[in-house]
Structure 1
Amino acid sequence: MAGSTHTDINTPPAQALTTNYKGPLVTVTMLFFMWGFITCLNDILIPKLQQAFTLELWQAMLIQTAFFGAYFFVSLLYFILSVTKGDPIRRIGYKNGIIVGLVVAAVGCTLFYPSASFHSYGFFLGALFILASGITILQIAANPYVAILGPPEGAASRLNMTQALNSLGTTVAPIIGGYLIFGAVDAAQTGAESVKMPYLGLAAALLAIALLIKVAKLPNIHSGDEIKPGAEALQHRHLLLGIICIFAYVGGEVSIGSALINFFMLPEIAGLNEAQAGHFLAFYWGGAMVGRFFGAIALSDTKNSSGKYVAMGGITALVFVLLFLAYGLNEALIVLGLIALNFMVLMLGKFIPSRTLGYFAATVVVLLLITCFATGSVAMWAVISIGLFNSIMFPTIFTLAIKGLGVHTSQASSLLVMAIVGGAVLPPIQGAVADITGDLQISFLVPLLCYLYIMYYGFSGYKIRNEAA
């Protein structure tokens, strides 16, 4: 695109409405799969490095601190630069921003090799921070880029589809990562040495994708206008409320996921052992992936409603068959019922992103009340089904929050990515409530407050007011 062309999620130029962006979207979607895959590998690294360095559990958990801390600090640095020097992504373009993020992430992966060679846990944490810094830059550039690649009414659908591929990455990472790191690639490598080749392979893959992005004919969307320093993005009320909403969503989702294994082990809930509880945890995260595919279809800009129903019916049938073959009829039927509930709430939202977000959050509030005060399988499946309704929330909130921001879109993106730190703040609060009250069930009232706010944002807070005009 010409340097003087400005593409805006809210008011794209004529060619943005007619150009076929399917090819670029397929290319960019690989990024979402890769950072989902890499992020979930942390769950494999924690026990591996705890064993290799003889760490206490809290020390091993610093892996998550180093990783998610980068989201906050790099996003904060990005925002400071945009305020004082002008928005970096707007200067170099979204495409080049994605390439920078991939290269930085690849450097972080490469640093795993010397970290293992020197047998230094501190070096590992530093490498993780650099790796996550690259992923943070990717998030700042790629999320708004996907939203811009096409008509604005389909932005939520496109982000849901890319986030579904992100969830696929988190689903397959434990299987592949466990094989590569714990197992079988090089029997001669033990302890920390076993991470060398897998992460060098990831570095090579990231660099290959960076090269592909570089040579691919992706629209290099940017503005030729003068980019002035300042914090104009913060003048938009719907963005400020969206930042809080992302904080609440990520915090609520991670809080629930972090407490599920202990919840399933409670005698009054299911009395499962750790292995059995982990089996049901997969339903929670897998539900998010299925729900995002549903969201991508339901919130798309196509007017062919019957086509949407056929596509969602096909996904439902596939999920039912796979669950029946893997787990049996009982669990397959339960999940089928939960998917039917998800579909009914989608219908209630009339496939409107903001309205659907509000109704999904309201449904999660009800499910959390059941989780808090019911027992047995009712409480267990109520909390598992939250994954299905979490599905559309992050991409939908993100899309609503950056709507109409024009040249301030990437600055707003950095603030929204910074709000992911909610995943580091809210789980300890829920844990503290459980410790103080001695009741893990009651502690689910903490994420319930988060979803009440998300419900408000979906029904009202997303609206653009005139004060920032």
Structure 2
Amino acid sequence: MNESSQRQTYRFAFVMITSLFFMWGFVHNLDPILIPHLRRSFSLTVLQSALVDSAVFIAYFLMALPAGLLIRKAGYKAAMLSGLALFAAGALLFIPAADTQRYVYFLGALFIIACGLTVLETAANPYITLLGRPEQATQRLNLAQSFNGLAATLAPIAGARLILVDGASDAQLQAMSDSARQAVLAAEAASVKGPYLAIALVIVAIATVFFFLKLPAIGAGQTGRAAPARGAIARALARASIRRAVVAQFFYVGAQVCVFSFFILYATKAAGVSQIVAADYLGWGCGCAFVVGRFAGTWLMKYIVPARLLLAYALASVALCAVAMFSSGLTSLAAVIGIAFFMSIMFPTIFSLGIDNAGPDTEMGSSLIIMSIVGGAVLPLVFGYISDATHNLQYGYAAPLLCFVVIAWFARAVLREAQPAAAATSTGSIAHV
């Protein structure tokens, strides 16, 4: 293959893999639409509706290591095809879940989708760095991730109009007989079938293209990496930076899921807007703020030490969580949109600071930090418990407030460790003058 043909092949492969970033971002950001929808259909408490997030993020915890082993044994392409197969299967299971009207079946379908997404994310993130010149790897990865942010903006807007159908009001439902009420709720629950069938068909089409697409065969035997040695996990956790990053990432993902997943419920209670309007605020407000915040934070890091910027953003988020707990109207919505802006840099910043100078423990440290996103399964339950116990959904923001305090602690710890190193470097420079 000549250089021109190879470049064209790589470009097409990049486009196809970037489509994966968009698709997993899209389906993730339908979860905030599903939560109020399923809560109404099954008369759930806030805590019970939070099981949507638990089903998704437990899958990440359980599948992270198997996904890595699959990549080592079968290669990146086989892993991506496996992830797409699970993704499509989970989306198709929404049809029998809606037909049977069983909440546990919806949770099972979400779990299978998330298993597929775990495999896809584990494979696509590193692989896309290989599609071209090494010096442009970071640029390619950031470009692909920007489509994930685009999905965060579009999914709530489109999903609300397809899933949150205009049905009977709560008062009208209460006035109906049990059979009539069940029939109305069953019809509303069925609104998920069309969107998730469409998602499944798109994923099958993408998988078909991937099956015939000739990708560079970079697998376990070609990466030059040996299998992890026994005790690698304990050795990685012996590093304070990795240990703290695992804790911080656990709480960060928990905070992000609380903010996004409960936004529609929050907006309808705190600001008194309809679910459709709330979904628009989620997409155009939180989604755009998250994307803009990521670009703004990347630019600010040219002038501000990342850990210091992370500390400032975490403290700003703590303050905004307090505002979200006790304000109302547009002020409450502006506070949550502000949180989306400030938390945009947190995941990649915590990740990079955690594995900085980790040497031979970098790979295992990375895996452990990725596994810690199981916080997205745990903290929403805390949010739901507080909301149900206090009969005030706004007080649930005490959960993400605590999470941002932990992130501030992490950033402060990084800065404290950096001070002696900077002083030693400064002393060494003076000694050599």
TM-score, L = length of structure 1: 0.65
Decide whether aligned partners of structure 1 residues 367 and 128 sit closer, same or farther in structure 2, where only a CA change above 3 A counts: closer
Counterpart of 2:287 in structure 1 is 285
**Matches of 1:90 and 1:161, distance apart in 2:** 26
The yes-or-no answer on 1:422 pairing with 2:375 is yes
Counterpart of 2:208 in structure 1 is 211
The C-alpha deviation readout for 1:412-458, integer Å capped at 9, x for no partner, is 5543332112223334556777868x994993641331321442476
Q: Which among 299, 312, 318 is matched to residue 368 of structure 1? A: 318
**Matches of 1:440 and 1:53, distance apart in 2:** 23
Q: Which among 247, 250, 261 is matched to residue 247 of structure 1? A: 250
Q: Is the 8 A contact 2:56 2:377 kept in 1?
A: no
Decide whether aligned partners of structure 1 residues 154 and 255 sit closer, same or farther in structure 2, where only a CA change above 3 A counts: farther
Q: Is the 8 A contact 2:31 2:261 kept in 1?
A: no
Please state how far the C-alpha of 1:254 moved relative to its aligned partner: 3.2
Give the counterpart letter for 1:250 in structure 2.
Answer: V
The structure with the greater share of residues assigned to helix is 2
Q: Give the secondary-structure state (helix, strand or coil) at the position aligned to 1:219.
A: coil
Please state how far the C-alpha of 1:101 moved relative to its aligned partner: 0.9
Decide whether aligned partners of structure 1 residues 125 and 168 sit closer, same or farther in structure 2, where only a CA change above 3 A counts: same
The yes-or-no answer on 1:348 pairing with 2:303 is yes
Please state how far the C-alpha of 1:381 moved relative to its aligned partner: 4.6
Q: Give the secondary-structure state (helix, strand or coil) at the position aligned to 2:217.
A: coil
Decide whether aligned partners of structure 1 residues 25 and 445 sit closer, same or farther in structure 2, where only a CA change above 3 A counts: same
Moved more, 442-451 or 163-172: 442-451
Superposed, 1:327-342 pairs within 5 Å as none
Q: Is the 8 A contact 2:242 2:354 kept in 1?
A: yes
Superposed, 1:356-435 pairs within 5 Å as 356=306, 358-369=308-319, 372=322, 381=334, 384-399=337-352, 401=354, 413-429=366-382
Q: Which among 406, 423, 428 is matched to residue 450 of structure 1? A: 406
**Matches of 2:43 and 2:396, distance apart in 1:** 33
Decide whether aligned partners of structure 1 residues 104 and 231 sit closer, same or farther in structure 2, where only a CA change above 3 A counts: farther
Give the counterpart letter for 1:418 in structure 2.
Answer: M
Q: Give the secondary-structure state (helix, strand or coil) at the position aligned to 1:423.
A: helix
Q: Which among 166, 169, 189 is matched to residue 148 of structure 2? A: 166
Please state how far the C-alpha of 1:92 moved relative to its aligned partner: 1.7
The yes-or-no answer on 1:41 pairing with 2:30 is yes
Counterpart of 1:200 in structure 2 is 197
Please state how far the C-alpha of 1:210 moved relative to its aligned partner: 2.0
The C-alpha deviation readout for 1:363-387, integer Å capped at 9, x for no partner, is 3314533664797988875653332
Counterpart of 2:53 in structure 1 is 64
**Matches of 1:183 and 1:277, distance apart in 2:** 14
**Matches of 1:346 and 1:419, distance apart in 2:** 25
Give the counterpart letter for 1:389 in structure 2.
Answer: F
Decide whether aligned partners of structure 1 residues 279 and 178 sit closer, same or farther in structure 2, where only a CA change above 3 A counts: closer
Q: Is the 8 A contact 1:106 1:207 kept in 2?
A: yes
Give the counterpart letter for 2:375 in structure 1.
Answer: G
Decide whether aligned partners of structure 1 residues 239 and 287 sit closer, same or farther in structure 2, where only a CA change above 3 A counts: same
Please state how far the C-alpha of 1:100 moved relative to its aligned partner: 1.2
Please state how far the C-alpha of 1:22 moved relative to its aligned partner: 5.1
The C-alpha deviation readout for 1:133-177, integer Å capped at 9, x for no partner, is 111111222223345556777655544433331122122122322
**Matches of 1:231 and 1:406, distance apart in 2:** 16
Q: Give the secondary-structure state (helix, strand or coil) at the position aligned to 1:348.
A: coil
- Structure 2 gaps of 5+ residues are 1-6, 167-185, 422-433
**Matches of 1:431 and 1:440, distance apart in 2:** 10
- Structure 1 gaps of 5+ residues are 1-17, 299-342, 350-354
The yes-or-no answer on 1:78 pairing with 2:66 is yes
Decide whether aligned partners of structure 1 residues 54 and 380 sit closer, same or farther in structure 2, where only a CA change above 3 A counts: closer
The yes-or-no answer on 1:110 pairing with 2:63 is no
Counterpart of 2:218 in structure 1 is 221
**Matches of 1:272 and 1:390, distance apart in 2:** 22
**Matches of 1:128 and 1:259, distance apart in 2:** 17
Moved more, 57-66 or 405-414: 405-414
Decide whether aligned partners of structure 1 residues 379 and 173 sit closer, same or farther in structure 2, where only a CA change above 3 A counts: closer
Q: Which among 61, 72, 77 is matched to residue 95 of structure 1? A: 77
Counterpart of 1:308 in structure 2 is none
Q: Give the secondary-structure state (helix, strand or coil) at the position aligned to 1:221.
A: coil
**Matches of 2:21 and 2:418, distance apart in 1:** 25
Counterpart of 1:122 in structure 2 is 104
The yes-or-no answer on 1:137 pairing with 2:87 is no
Counterpart of 1:232 in structure 2 is 232
Decide whether aligned partners of structure 1 residues 356 and 146 sit closer, same or farther in structure 2, where only a CA change above 3 A counts: farther
Give the counterpart letter for 2:343 in structure 1.
Answer: N
Moved more, 217-226 or 445-454: 217-226
Q: Give the secondary-structure state (helix, strand or coil) at the position aligned to 1:385.
A: helix
Q: Is the 8 A contact 1:263 1:441 kept in 2?
A: no
Between the two proteins, the alignment pairs up a number of residues equal to 380
TM-score, L = length of structure 2: 0.70
The yes-or-no answer on 1:190 pairing with 2:178 is no
Give the counterpart letter for 1:393 in structure 2.
Answer: M
Identity of paired residues, percent? 36
